[in-house]
Amino acid sequence: MERINPSGRHFSGILCLLVLYIVLSSCQGSLVRQISPSRQPYQIVQNWDTDTVSSVAASSDFPSHVLRKRDTTTTAATSSDPSSKIKRSAVPLNDSHNQLLVFWAGEDVILCLAKDVTSNASSTLWISRDYGGSFLNATSLLVQSGGSVVQPLPVLEGFFNHPSHNGHFAFTDVQNKYIFTTKNYGAEFTANKLEFVPDEVMFDPHSDLNIVAYEKSTKDKQMWVSIDYGKSWTKVQEHVKSLSWGDESVMPANLYLQREEPSPGPGERSIILRSNSLFLDAKDTEVIITGVEEFEIKDDFMFATKQKENGTYDLLISYRQSEFKKAVFPLSQLTKHFFIADVSTDGQIFVCVVQNESISNLFIGNFPTNAEENPTFSLSLERILFFKPNVTWSESWLNEVASETFVDLHHVEGLRGVYIASQLKPSTVSSGKFNMNEVISLITYDQGGEWQVLSPPEFEHDGRPIYCQY
C-alpha cells in the first residue's frame, strides 16, 4: 500500500495524465503555453531532445506518473473555434536542462524549475508575474538570499507549497542542505542552512510559521520541526518512514508518523505514532498501531498493511479513529501489495490488489456500520493498469519513466459515481510485456458496479475522422 501525502502540494517532476493543457517545444528551449480559465495547478516534465512533449494538469488527489514522448505520441491541442477561451503563446527560456516543473501559484504568478532528470548537478528557477507572458531567471534571488551570498550555487531538487497560503513556498537543495523560503511568490527568499537533508517538507495547515521536514535518503531518517518558518530547527524523531496530517478541521492538527524500528522483533517492523504538538512535546505522543508495513490516511479512513508469515499482506482499516479491522477479499491467490486508489464522498473504498507482476485487480467495499463485522470487498474491475517500481512490470519501459506508484483510475470531478479507468487486455497480462496499444479505456457511472468501454468521438474538432476502436 502506498501513502499519499496530503500535506500540501509537492512538485518533483512527475505528473498525472488528466486534461491536456500545455505543449512544450524544444525550439531553443521555448515554453509554448495554452492556459485555460481553470486555476488548477499543474506540473510539466519535458525532454528537450524531442520534437514535441505534451503536458497535462496535475492534481494532488491522485498518485502521479508520466509517460515521455518517446513512449507515447500525443498531438498538441488546438482549436479552430474563434470562441475558444484558450490562449496560446510561446516564451523562449533558452535553458539546457531536460526537465521542467511548472506550477501556477495564483496572482498571475507561474513558477518553473528547470533541472536534469538523471544528474541534477544544476538548476534554474524561472518566475513569471504576468501569467506566462515573460519569465525572469530568479536563481540570483536565491544566491543573494537574506543579504548574504549563498555558496555553493543552489541546486534545487523540488518545491513545496503551503496548502492555505498560496504565496508561501519552500524550495529544497538536498545536495547542499538548504531550504529557501518565500512568503511573496518568490519576490524575496530566505536561505536556511540545515543540519539534515530536506527530502520531504510539510507545512502545518493551521499555521503560516510551522514547517516539518524529514529525511528519506539517510540512514537515520531524521525528522525536524521549525516554528519560525525555517529560521531554526529542532530534531524530534529518527527512523521516520512517512508523515501524514490527520483531520485538518481539528485544531491543532494531528500529525501521524510511521517510524521504522532499527532492531525490530517479530511483528515489529514499524509503529504509527500520533501527536498534536508536532512531536515537540513527548507527553503528547500516542501509539496508534504496531507491526505495520505501510500506512496511509485518506479522508476519514486510516489504512495499514501487515505482512504475514508467508510473505503476503493483510489490509487493516480504521474509520474515524475507530479500531482497525481486517479487510476481507474474495481472493484465491496470495496478495503482494495493496494500493488505496480512492475513497468516494459517501465512503466507498477503491482498493487495487496486486497478485503478481502483471495482474492487478480493482475491488470496492464499504466500512461496516456493525461493529462486529469486517470490511468486505468485491471485485470491480480485472486487470486494471497499475504500476509500482520493482513490484509490477519490472522489465518494461515504465521503470525508466515512472519513479512513483500509480493506478490509472480517475474520478470525473462534479459527477457522482463516474470514474474512468485503464484496463489491460488479456494478451498483455498473459505475455507479461506492457504495451500501450493493449490498453482499453473504460467508464463506470455507478462507482465501479459496472464498467463499459469509453466510446471516443467520431471526428476531430476540424472534421477529421478519429480511428480508435477496441
- Contact (Cβ atoms closer than 8 angstroms) between residue 298 and residue 271: no
- Please give the grid coordinates belonging to residue 327: 479487510
Task: Give the residues across from 181 on adjacent strands.
Answer: 170, 190
- d(CA 181, CA 14) in angstroms, rounded, equals 22
For cell 493483510, the residue is 314
Q: What is the pLDDT of residue 422?
A: 93
Question: Whole-model pTM?
Answer: 0.77
Tens-digit pLDDT profile for residues 32-88 = 333 333 333 333 443 333 332 233 333 333 333 333 322 333 333 444 554 455 667
pLDDT-based confidence at 264, cuts 50/70/90? low
- Contact (Cβ atoms closer than 8 angstroms) between residue 350 and residue 300: no
- Return the minimum-mean-pLDDT range out of 56-65, 120-129, 168-177, 451-460: 56-65
- Contact (Cβ atoms closer than 8 angstroms) between residue 457 and residue 466: yes
Q: Which helix (DSSP H) or strand (DSSP E) does residue 401 occupy?
A: helix 398-401
Highest mean pLDDT among 48-57, 80-89, 146-155, 346-355: 346-355
Q: For the chain, what percent of residues have pLDDT higher than 90? A: 51
Q: Is the pLDDT of residue 181 over 90?
A: yes
Q: Is the pLDDT of residue 391 over 50?
A: yes
Q: What is the pLDDT of residue 36?
A: 34
**Residues in Cβ contact with 163 at an 8 Å cutoff, skipping those fewer than 6 apart:** 7, 8, 9, 203, 205, 248
- Contact (Cβ atoms closer than 8 angstroms) between residue 313 and residue 337: yes
- d(CA 294, CA 274) in angstroms, rounded, equals 15
Q: For 150-171, what is the mean pLDDT?
A: 91
For cell 531518517, the residue is 221
- Please give the grid coordinates belonging to residue 183: 512568503
Tens-digit pLDDT profile for residues 424-465 = 988 877 777 787 888 899 999 999 999 999 888 888 888 888
392-414 b/e (C-beta count within 10 Å ≥ 16 → b)? bbeebebeebbeebbbbbbbeee
pLDDT-based confidence at 28, cuts 50/70/90? very low
Q: What is the pLDDT of residue 69?
A: 28
Q: What is the number of residues in the chain?
A: 470
Residue 27 phi/psi, 5-degree rounding, is -65, 105
Within the chain, what is the greatest distance between any pair of CA atoms?
Answer: 68
- d(CA 273, CA 256) in angstroms, rounded, equals 6
- Return the minimum-mean-pLDDT range out of 17-31, 167-181, 206-220, 343-357: 17-31
Q: Is the pLDDT of residue 385 over 70?
A: yes
Give the end-to-end CA distance of the chain in Å, rounded to a whole number.
31
Q: What is the pLDDT of residue 83?
A: 45
- d(CA 432, CA 248) in angstroms, rounded, equals 42
Mean pLDDT of the chain: 80
Tens-digit pLDDT profile for residues 301-339 = 999 999 888 888 899 999 998 999 999 999 777 788 899
**Residues in Cβ contact with 282 at an 8 Å cutoff, skipping those fewer than 6 apart:** none
Q: Is the model more confident about 14 or about 378?
A: 378
Q: What is the pLDDT of residue 435?
A: 78
Q: What is the pLDDT of residue 386?
A: 92
Q: What is the pLDDT of residue 148?
A: 66
Q: For 106-134, what is the mean pLDDT?
A: 88
Angle (CA) 232-235-236 rounded to 5° is: 130
Burial of residue 99, with CB atoms counted within 10 A of its CB: 0-12 exposed, 13-18 middle, 19 or more buried: buried
Q: What is the pLDDT of residue 469?
A: 66
Residue 247 phi/psi, 5-degree rounding, is -60, 115
Nearest residue to 187 via CA among 167, 205, 170, 171: 167
Q: What is the pLDDT of residue 268?
A: 62
CB atoms < 10 A from the CB of 28, how many? 11
**Residues in Cβ contact with 89 at an 8 Å cutoff, skipping those fewer than 6 apart:** 32, 33, 132, 133
Q: Is the pLDDT of residue 132 over 60?
A: yes
Q: What is the pLDDT of residue 59?
A: 33
Q: What is the pLDDT of residue 266?
A: 56
Q: What is the pLDDT of residue 25?
A: 29
- Please give the grid coordinates belonging to residue 396: 518494461
